[in-house]
C-alpha cells in the first residue's frame, strides 16, 4: 500500500518514538535521512526553544556540527546519546555533504575489511610497489596455490626416490658382504687345492721310487 506524505510523517514519528534508528526508519518508510531529520525535528523542536528563541538543533544537525569540529564517531555517539548505526549513517551523510562521496563508496564496499586494505596499501607503499606492479603481483599470486601443490608433489616424489636409493644401497652393501665372504671361501679352497696337489706330487714320487725298487729286484732274480 502506498502511503501519503502525512501518513509517512506520522509513521516516521511513531518509529522514532519507538527508538528506531535513522537507518531502520529509512528502510521501513522508504525515505532518505534528510526528510527523516526534518520530520523528527518537528517532534523534538515544536514547542522547545531556548532563552534566545532559537530552535533546538536536531541530532542530525548536532552530529554534523560535531563532525565538522573534528569529533570522532565515538565522541559524537556519546555526546548525542545515539546508537553506533545511527552515528555511522550520520557520518556518511556528513562525508557526502563535504564532497567526500567517493570515500563513502569505498567504505561501503570495504567496510569491515577496510583496516586490512589500509594495512596492505601501507605495505605496498613501503615496498615501493606501484599500482601496475601490484596488479601483476596479485595475478602471479594466483599461481601460488598451484606452485605449492607442485612443490609438495615434487617433494613427495623426491622422498620416495631417496627411500628407493637407500634400499638399493642397503641391498648393494649386503651383496658386497656376500662377495667378501665368498672370496674368503675361494681363497681357502685354492689353498686347499695347492695342498692336495702337493700331496699328489709326493705320492707320485713315492710311487716312482717303489716302481724302481721293484724293477731292480726283478732283474736280480733273473740273474
* Residue that finishes a domain, picked among 38, 66, 99: 99
Choice between 18 and 219, residue whose per-residue pLDDT is larger: 18
What separation in angstroms does the CA of 2 have from each of 9, 53, 157?
13, 38, 71
High-pLDDT (> 70) share of the chain, %: 85
Answer whether residue 94 is part of any domain.
yes
Answer whether residue 88 is part of any domain.
yes
Answer whether residue 136 is part of any domain.
no
The boundaries of the domain holding residue 153 are 143-210
Answer whether residue 134 is part of any domain.
no
pLDDT in tens, 41-55: 777 665 444 434 445
The structure's pTM equals: 0.31
Q: What rounded mean pLDDT belongs to the chain? A: 80
Choice between 27 and 54, residue whose per-residue pLDDT is larger: 27
Answer whether residue 108 is part of any domain.
no
CA angle 172, 175, 180 (to 5 degrees): 125
Answer whether residue 222 is part of any domain.
no
In this prediction, residue 82 has a pLDDT band, given cuts at 50, 70 and 90, of confident
Answer whether residue 65 is part of any domain.
yes
Q: How many domains does the chain have?
A: 2
Q: Partners of 49 in the beta sheet?
A: 55
- Examine the domain organization and report whether 11 and 95 are in the same domain: yes
Answer whether residue 86 is part of any domain.
yes
Q: What is the pLDDT of residue 221?
A: 67
Which long-range CB contacts under 8 A does 4-11 form with residues at least 24 apart? 9/39, 9/42
Q: Is residue 89 within 8 Å of 76, Cβ to Cβ?
A: no
Element (H, E) at 40: helix 33-45
- Examine the domain organization and report whether 157 and 86 are in the same domain: no
The candidate with the shortest Cα–Cα distance to 74, out of 57, 92, 91, is 91
* Residue that finishes a domain, picked among 65, 80, 99: 99
Mean pLDDT of 176-202: 87
Residue 18 CB contacts under 8 Å (≥ 6 apart), including other chains? none
pLDDT in tens, 57-81: 678 888 888 888 888 888 888 888 8
- Examine the domain organization and report whether 95 and 149 are in the same domain: no
Q: Is the pLDDT of residue 178 over 80?
A: yes
Amino acid at each position: 500500500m502506498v502511503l501519503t506524505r502525512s501518513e509517512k510523517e506520522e509513521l516516521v514519528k511513531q518509529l522514532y518514538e519507538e527508538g528506531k534508528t535513522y537507518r531502520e526508519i529509512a528502510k521501513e518508510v522508504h525515505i532518505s535521512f534528510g526528510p527523516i531529520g526534518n520530520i523528527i525535528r518537528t517532534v523534538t523542536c515544536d514547542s522547545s526553544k531556548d532563552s534566545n528563541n532559537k530552535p533546538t538543533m536536531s541530532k542530525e544537525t548536532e552530529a554534523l556540527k560535531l563532525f565538522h569540529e573534528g569529533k570522532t564517531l565515538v565522541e559524537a555517539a556519546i555526546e548525542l546519546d545515539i546508537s553506533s548505526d545511527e552515528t555511522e549513517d550520520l557520518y556518511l551523510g556528513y562525508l557526502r555533504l563535504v564532497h567526500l562521496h567517493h570515500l563513502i563508496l569505498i567504505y561501503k564496499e570495504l567496510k569491515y575489511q577496510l583496516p586490512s586494505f589500509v594495512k596492505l596499501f601501507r605495505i605496498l607503499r613501503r615496498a615501493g610497489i606501484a599500482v601496475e606492479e601490484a596488479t601483476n603481483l596479485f595475478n602471479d599470486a594466483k599461481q601460488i596455490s598451484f606452485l605449492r601443490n607442485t612443490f609438495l608433489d615434487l617433494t613427495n616424489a623426491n622422498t620416495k626416490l631417496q627411500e628407493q636409493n637407500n634400499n638399493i644401497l642397503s641391498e648393494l652393501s649386503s651383496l658386497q658382504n656376500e662377495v667378501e665372504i665368498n672370496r674368503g671361501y675361494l681363497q681357502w679352497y685354492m689353498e686347499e687345492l695347492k695342498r692336495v696337489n702337493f700331496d699328489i706330487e709326493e705320492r707320485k714320487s713315492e710311487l716312482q721310487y717303489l716302481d724302481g725298487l721293484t724293477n731292480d729286484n726283478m732283474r736280480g732274480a733273473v740273474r
